[in-house]
Amino acid sequence: MEQYVIKGGNPLRGEVTIGGAKNAALAILAAAVMTDETVIVRNVPYVNDTIVLVDAIRDIGAIVENIDNHTLKINGSTISRLSVDYDYIKKIRASYYLLGALLGKYHKAEVAQPGGCDIGTRPIDLHIKGFHALGADVDTSYGLISASADSLEGAHIYLDKVSVGATINILLAATLADGKTVIDNAAKEPHVVDVANFLNSMGAEIRGAGTESIRVTGVKKLHGTDYSVIPDQIEAGTFMFAAAATGGDVLVKNVIPKHLEATTTKLLETGCQVIEYNDAVRVASNGHLKATQVTTLPYPGFPTDMQPQMTVVLGIADGLSTVTESIWENRFRYVDELKRMGADIRVESNVAIISGVNHYTGTRVQAPDLRAGAALVIAGLAADGITVVDDIYYIQRGYEAFSEKLRGLGAEIEKVSDEKAMRKFILKVG
């Protein structure tokens, strides 16, 4: 089992380059099999989630060639199975995008039912509601979601709750349905827009992505394309918060600053300096952070996937902060670990009430999920002494070369796989 071992206390300084958006790439890779022509997808982050999804796509018979670590050539003409195994869904829920993609293309698809997960129960009722509205029969017995239709017909679909996954899954199927579909109360996240742009580059007719009403005119078929995934706003935000927590000065390159507005606003409230360039943001902190209030909301609100990283920053800010989680019901599990590092945080229902402390103290902690894992690394970078983060496979699901990028900013962090390597690192850093 690999771990990160960190000697905290170094302000991060320098430049870091952000990779492609994991959550956009997952949907785009699934959508790439919707044509029989060849599709090239660039700027795909080389992280465990995309690796597993590519395995799932290969497993149903599509051909995927790695041109390099970040560029994939996909051909869906050889698909021979319309069923995605539980093994993939279990490892990565987003495999369910193959349901919308295959249903749209072949009018039939089956994936194992995803379960709950580390951040809460994760219903898929809205995905199913959307497929139903398009005319599909959807059966959910025996732990499977089986969808089939003689033909898919455009429909007016209202999502009772803003859902990224349901918006994208319905969008995929509607792209190849007959006639017009309107998705109302759609998610507006940048990756929803990216998926729509990708589909449009394949010949789809989608308008309004990025607003709450997406309009799709179904097309008969899609063609090949060559497309580059947008930068990852969550990876970018994670480095921005790491700069803030360590009193550093970091230029975060290859980002779309507009996508980071909520993060930027909150960092300004904590007293950091944030400068926006065309495709970069610079975050500088003098080490004196101020308390503030944050509530997670669908885009353009503050992203739930940045909530743990924000909490870590506020944990060492002057005064009383609150962080309210409004998307997932179980996203404060890391707080107990952070308290073991000296944080003074009380969780009441979906609100974390944070009394800022002067500093964290290093200890051994466990990553409970992807973003919380990254947040604990940030706490370790800001802490006095040595922090060991266990279960870093969660972090590796979504951050490429995390420790390497942090080292490039002056962090003392090492990925180790045994006690001997850990002792060696500790000896080295004194």
Give the footprint of ligand UD1 on this chain (CB under 6 A). 23, 26, 94, 122-127, 161, 163-166, 187, 304-305, 327-328
Beta bridge pairs of residue 216 = 181, 206
Beta bridge pairs of residue 225 = 39
- The CB-of-337 to ligand UD1 minimum distance in angstroms stands at 19
- The CB-of-307 to ligand UD1 minimum distance in angstroms stands at 9
Nearer to ligand UD1, 195 or 383 (CB): 195
- The CB-of-24 to ligand UD1 minimum distance in angstroms stands at 8
- In the structure encoding, which two tokens stand for residue 194, read together? 């990216």
Nearer to ligand UD1, 272 or 323 (CB): 323
- The CB-of-332 to ligand UD1 minimum distance in angstroms stands at 14
Of the listed 14, 69, 116, 117, which one is catalytic? 117
Measured distance CA(189)–CA(411) in Å, rounded? 31
Nearer to ligand UD1, 129 or 340 (CB): 129
- The CB-of-217 to ligand UD1 minimum distance in angstroms stands at 24
- The CB-of-189 to ligand UD1 minimum distance in angstroms stands at 6
Nearer to ligand UD1, 107 or 371 (CB): 371
272 belongs to the catalytic site: no
Nearer to ligand UD1, 127 or 259 (CB): 127
- The CB-of-9 to ligand UD1 minimum distance in angstroms stands at 31
- In the structure encoding, which two tokens stand for residue 242, read together? 């790491």
Measured distance CA(147)–CA(211) in Å, rounded? 28
Nearer to ligand UD1, 123 or 410 (CB): 123
Nearer to ligand UD1, 161 or 207 (CB): 161
* Number of neighbours of residue 398 by Cβ within 10 angstroms: 24
Catalytically active residues are 117
